[in-house]
Amino acid sequence: MGLGLSLLYFIVILGLGWIAGYLPFMKTIFGTILPYVALLLFLVGIIARIVRWGRSPVPFRITTTCGQEKSLPWIRQNKLDNPSSALGAFGRMLLEVLFFRSLFRNTKAEFKDNEKLVYSVDKWLWFFSLAFHWSFLIIFLRHFRFFTEPIPSFVTFLQNIDGFFQVGLPIIYITDVLILAGLTYLFLRRIFDSKVKIISLPSDYFPLLLILGIAVTGVLMRYFFKTDLVAVKEFTVSILSFQPIGSDLLAKLSPLFIIHFTFVCTLLIYFPFSKLVHLGGIFLSPTRNLANNNRMKRHVNPWNYDVPVHTYEEYEEEFRDKMIAAGIPVEKEE
């Protein structure tokens, strides 16, 4: 059900992009209005999310602790897995964001011969997730050649490293292979692993399909069906400088590019409302970004207001006679 619905959404967007590629009227709308709507919704959505996160109370330090906390001097602390300082928390966060350190510990549980539950190491999810995320980032950064003039030097640097093996013409980028492999793995895992399938929703399949759509149309454009890159650059620069282009230039944009672009705009619109916001959420996650110094330092809930308390001394004072009569031990006899 989840997969069917996501496929339906995906096909509708693909169809709209396709039609827009051939119908001048729709092409004008998709090439001049859609990008601004997408950018606006993306920005407003992200800001709303950040404000909502920022306003959520975090009354306690709820750090995830996966190792020995700072204790007596002769007990060795695990400084990365249970950081007690801001520097330690920063180091843990850095390794998490750059290398998905906690996912590296991923294990799988399976029934062997239908009776024994066996746990084993599973690094594939970590490997393909990392491959996908890093490739996406590098591809995104490489795309700056379409957005700025002159082309920034880091783009040329990335292109040279990415095409290092110099295979094929145009040279095949390693990131193109890795992003397709990563996305395919992540998608097939949701279909063929019954344990993952049962917990998968349209909001799990759809982003994968959407990003696959972007990557596949991009790869088709680069290696199989050439598009007019000069026109693409004129198009993106004109949009970013708030001077949408005329219909003669729009006509030069290939239908495949319009599909690629439609998918990208959909991703922008969908992003703030989907699970993909984990991109920003990870940094604001109290289980990750706080040091575990709960025992070293008293953290008072900042939302605490004064409440009338009834201490034990006061309690005993009030009920001492009755406690003695009932044989309950008291601290002060008189």
Positions touching ligand HEM (CB under 6 A) are 136, 139-140, 142-143, 146, 173, 175-176, 179, 214-215, 218-219, 221-222, 227, 229, 232, 236, 257, 260-261, 264, 267
CB of 195 vs ligand HEM, minimal distance in Å: 29
Measured distance between the N- and C-terminal CA atoms of the chain, rounded to whole angstroms: 74
Of 31, 21, 19, give the one whose Cα is nearest residue 246.
31
Cis peptide before 170 (omega within 30 of 0): yes
Tell me the CA distances in angstroms from 190 to 4, 73, 196, 206, 215, one per residue in order: 13, 47, 5, 12, 19
> Of 90 and 144, which CB lies nearer to ligand HEM in the complex structure?
144
Residue of minimal Cβ distance to ligand HEM: 218
- Bridge partners (DSSP) of residue 243 are none
CB of 138 vs ligand HEM, minimal distance in Å: 8
> Of 58 and 237, which CB lies nearer to ligand HEM in the complex structure?
237
Count of Cβ atoms closer than 10 Å to residue 29 Cβ: 13
> Of 89 and 268, which CB lies nearer to ligand HEM in the complex structure?
268
CB of 140 vs ligand HEM, minimal distance in Å: 6
CB of 117 vs ligand HEM, minimal distance in Å: 39
DSSP designation for 122: -
> Of 6 and 227, which CB lies nearer to ligand HEM in the complex structure?
227
Q: Which helix (H) or strand (E) holds 136?
A: helix 124-142
CB of 65 vs ligand HEM, minimal distance in Å: 36
* Burial class of residue 82 (count of CB atoms within 10 Å of its CB; 0-12, 13-18, 19+): buried
> Of 94 and 240, which CB lies nearer to ligand HEM in the complex structure?
240
